Amino acid sequence: MPTLLQICFVIVTIAVVAIAIATIRVMQQFRKTSEEFSSMTREARQWMDQLRAVTNDAGDIVSSFREVAPRLRRVMDRFEAIGERTAVLSDAVLREVEVPVRTAVAVARGVRFGAQQFVERLTKRFAGRSSSNGGMNYE
């Protein structure tokens, strides 16, 4: 065989080996990538299952709130009615009690002031007099 042909065979053989090595490496990378992709897919499925569970729980909570909301509204309406009745009752009590109490306080103040004035005038009247017969000596 001529030398040139042998050199070409060696070059072609080296090229085929290099292509085979490159193909093997690409296949290994492809296998690693597919394994990572399948593990990511498994994790995504787990997340989806968890998301479904959370969504179901949220749906249960919402339905529970729907059941409880009318009851809460009735309780709130009752509290509102009780509050209004209490305000009306306290207003009526204040109107009925306040006027007589204010009148009684005014009367007590008036009596006290009148008594004070009376006592002051009496003390001035008796304090201004001397104990003698008006300053005249009848001996």
Please state the domain extents for the chain.
1-98
| Dihedral over alpha carbons 93, 95, 99, 102 (to 10 degrees) | 70
Given a cut of 70, is residue 133 above it in pLDDT?
Answer: no
Q: Is 21 exposed, middle or buried (0-12, 13-18, 19+ CB in 10 A)?
A: exposed
135 phi and psi angles, rounded to 5 deg: 90, 0
pLDDT of residue 132: 56
Average pLDDT of the residues of the chain: 87
Confidence at 4, pLDDT banded by 50, 70, 90: confident
Q: What is the DSSP string of 71-86?
A: HHHHHHHHHHHHHHHH
Q: Which helix (H) or strand (E) holds 138?
A: none
Average pLDDT for 12-30: 94
Residue 107 pLDDT grade (very low, low, confident, very high; cuts 50, 70, 90): very high
129: left (phi over 0), alpha (psi -120 to 50) or beta: beta
pLDDT, tens digit, 9 for 90 and up, residues 70-95 = 988 999 999 999 999 999 998 888 88
Token pair for 46: 């787990």
Q: Which amino acid is at 62?
A: V
- Tokens at residue 81, please? 């009615």
Structure tokens at 22: 């490159």
Give this prediction's pTM.
Answer: 0.40
User: Comparing 52-56, 73-77, 115-119, 133-137, which segment has the lowest mean pLDDT?
Assistant: 133-137
